[in-house]
A and B are shown apart, each in its own frame.
Chain A
Amino acid sequence: MGVVAALRWVLLAAFVVCVKFPAFADPLARGRELYVLCSSCHGEHGQGDRQRFAPAIGGLPQWYVETQLRKFLAGERGYHPDDTTGLQMRPMAQAVYRDGDLQAVATYVASLRPLPAQRSQNTGNASRGQTLYATCAACHGADGKGNEALKAPKLVGQADWYLIDQLKKFRSGQRGAGPGDATGAQMRAMVNVLPDDNAIADVVAYITTLQP
């Protein structure tokens, strides 16, 4: 067998392995393929879209994106009858079911360059919010850049309307009360420091002043 013929067989075998086990392929390339589905709401650059209630995800840490996708898959997130947007996201996570695909799409999302956050007309008071943020800082960091060891995602760079929405969901049990969602349960306990919608608006107003 000549060298060229041998090379052909090697390439064919590599192709079959990559098709059969996509995790063997370049995860970034595989992630880009899968991201086409996500981009219909989250945007081509992961910039988010308020009209579709899709948060900015570009540049979020890989571990966080993967964890959240797993929560959607397991029914720990997007389980509540009133969580309209969570219910939308849940089947999307179910579309990424092959071995390695979940990590691949999370890797691709993490590789995207974060774009400036969208702002809503949040009228919260940032200086009042700074006091309230002291509790959040314990896990999410004083700079709001998150802490993987504590499973706390970064908050800076996220759209304020999304943060407000999620804090309200934690408070009402639409998020964080799913069976087996330990970190969600932690967050539900923490959100009690924000007694009302004004406090939520204030703390989010402060978070949006932090530099990404």
Chain B
Amino acid sequence: MLSWLVPQASTSARDIDWLFALILVTVGFWFVVAQAALFTFIFRFRRRPGVAASYISGERKEEKRWISRPHALVIVCDVVLIVGALLTWKAVKQDLPPADERIRIVAQQWAWVFVHPGPDGKLDTEDDVRTVNDLRLKIDTTYHFELTSRDVVHSFSVPAFRLKQDAVPGRIVTGWFRPTRLGTYDIQCAEICGIGHALMPARLTIETPAEHAAWYASRSAQGG
């Protein structure tokens, strides 16, 4: 459903949208039912001439049911949502599927530096390609990222990946994503990081392996 608004460009985006849909349907269904019951009662027991209102203490068994049964239902729905959330959290954050490649993301006031592994697919080698505000990824490739900051706390936010991860100076935060859709997408710092925070966007391009190799080749032709 969310993908109508923001494209799903990674496997995690699919998982997170599934969780959103589960919450929306569960909560939305009971919201509609509860409002329907409320308005039905308001209409059915509306004021009528000659009928006096009576006080209901809510102590009789058949009255208490109106509280206890929805209460039990809410708990059941909560458990369903919690299980859904934990499954998604495990899939997105706790499991670290084996990496095809690693990339490094360095945040600073007010730019993103991306270290791509280069044609050999390995970081910290001669052919690494560093870019400013320009992240290039291969489709259907599992990446582990190392996220850090040079100065203050930033947040690496990629709406199309449903990813928002703080970058903390002095720490290397590891995570993963697997791009699933070609195209260009937005990256934006999502943590107020100083006067230039609003001017800290970057561009994500997901390309085919051939396009990616051609890009590496063009970079090495320019001298990296």
- B199 touching A94, Cβ below 8 Å: yes
What string of 1s and 0s marks CB contacts (under 8 Å) between A67-103 and chain B?
0000000000001110010011011101100000000
Verify if A189 is at the interface (C-beta below 8 Å from B). Answer: no
Verify if B49 is at the interface (C-beta below 8 Å from A). Answer: no
- Give every chain B residue within 8 A of A87 (Cβ-Cβ): 108, 110-111, 113, 132
What string of 1s and 0s marks CB contacts (under 8 Å) between B177-204 and chain A?
0000000000000000001100110000
Closest approach, in angstroms, between the C-beta of A54 and any C-beta of chain B? Answer: 12
- Give every chain B residue within 8 A of A81 (Cβ-Cβ): 106, 113, 130-132
Closest approach, in angstroms, between the C-beta of A33 and any C-beta of chain B? Answer: 16
- A88 touching B110, Cβ below 8 Å: yes
- Residue of A79, A80, A84, A95 near B199 (CB, 8 A) is A95
- Give every chain B residue within 8 A of A80 (Cβ-Cβ): 132
Verify if A40 is at the interface (C-beta below 8 Å from B). Answer: yes
Verify if A37 is at the interface (C-beta below 8 Å from B). Answer: yes
Complex interface residues of chain A between 14 and 72 (CB less than 8 A to chain B): 37, 40
- A92 touching B108, Cβ below 8 Å: no
- A91 touching B196, Cβ below 8 Å: yes
- Give every chain B residue within 8 A of A95 (Cβ-Cβ): 196, 199
- Give every chain B residue within 8 A of A88 (Cβ-Cβ): 108-111, 196
Query: What is the bound-complex CA distance between A80 and B113, given in angstroms?
Result: 9
- Give every chain B residue within 8 A of A37 (Cβ-Cβ): 195
Query: What is the bound-complex CA distance between A91 and B199, given in angstroms?
Result: 6
- A90 touching B195, Cβ below 8 Å: no
**Residue picked from A80, A81, A92, A95, most chain B C-beta under 10 Å:** A81
Query: What is the bound-complex CA distance between A92 and B110, given in angstroms?
Result: 9
Query: What is the bound-complex CA distance between A87 and B108, given in angstroms?
Result: 8
Closest approach, in angstroms, between the C-beta of A155 and any C-beta of chain B? Answer: 27
Closest approach, in angstroms, between the C-beta of A37 and any C-beta of chain B? Answer: 7
- A92 touching B132, Cβ below 8 Å: no
- Give every chain B residue within 8 A of A40 (Cβ-Cβ): 195
Query: What is the bound-complex CA distance between A92 and B199, given in angstroms?
Result: 8
Query: What is the bound-complex CA distance between A87 and B106, given in angstroms?
Result: 12
- Give every chain A residue within 8 A of B113 (Cβ-Cβ): 81, 87
- Give every chain B residue within 8 A of A94 (Cβ-Cβ): 199
Known: A84-B150, A88-B196, A95-B199. A79 touches B110 (CB 8 A): no
**Residue picked from B131, B196, B200, most chain A C-beta under 10 Å:** B196
Query: What is the bound-complex CA distance between A95 and B194, given in angstroms?
Result: 14
What string of 1s and 0s marks CB contacts (under 8 Å) between A90-124 and chain B?
11101100000000000000000000000000000
Taking CB as reference atom, which chain A residue is nearest B130?
Answer: A81
Query: What is the bound-complex CA distance between A80 and B150, given in angstroms?
Result: 15
Closest approach, in angstroms, between the C-beta of A172 and any C-beta of chain B? Answer: 13
Query: What is the bound-complex CA distance between A47 and B197, given in angstroms?
Result: 24
Closest approach, in angstroms, between the C-beta of A184 and any C-beta of chain B? Answer: 15
Taking CB as reference atom, which chain A residue is nearest B114?
Answer: A81
Query: What is the bound-complex CA distance between A194 and B108, given in angstroms?
Result: 30
Query: What is the bound-complex CA distance between A118 and B104, given in angstroms?
Result: 37
Known: A40-B195, A92-B196, A92-B199. A79 touches B108 (CB 8 A): no
**Residue picked from A40, A90, A91, A94, most chain B C-beta under 10 Å:** A91
Other 13 A-B pairs with CB < 8 A, given A40-B195, A81-B106, A92-B195: A79-B132, A80-B132, A84-B108, A84-B150, A87-B111, A88-B108, A88-B109, A88-B110, A88-B111, A88-B196, A90-B111, A91-B196, A91-B200
Residues of B within 8 A of A (CB): 106, 108-111, 113, 130-132, 150, 195-196, 199-200
| Closest 10 pairs (CB-CB, A-B) | A91-B199, A87-B111, A81-B130, A81-B113, A91-B196, A91-B110, A40-B195, A88-B109, A94-B199, A81-B132
Pairs across A and B, CB under 8 Å, 25 listed: A37-B195, A40-B195, A80-B132, A81-B130, A81-B131, A81-B132, A84-B108, A84-B150, A87-B108, A87-B110, A87-B111, A88-B109, A88-B110, A88-B111, A88-B196, A90-B111, A91-B110, A91-B111, A91-B199, A91-B200, A92-B195, A92-B196, A92-B199, A94-B199, A95-B196
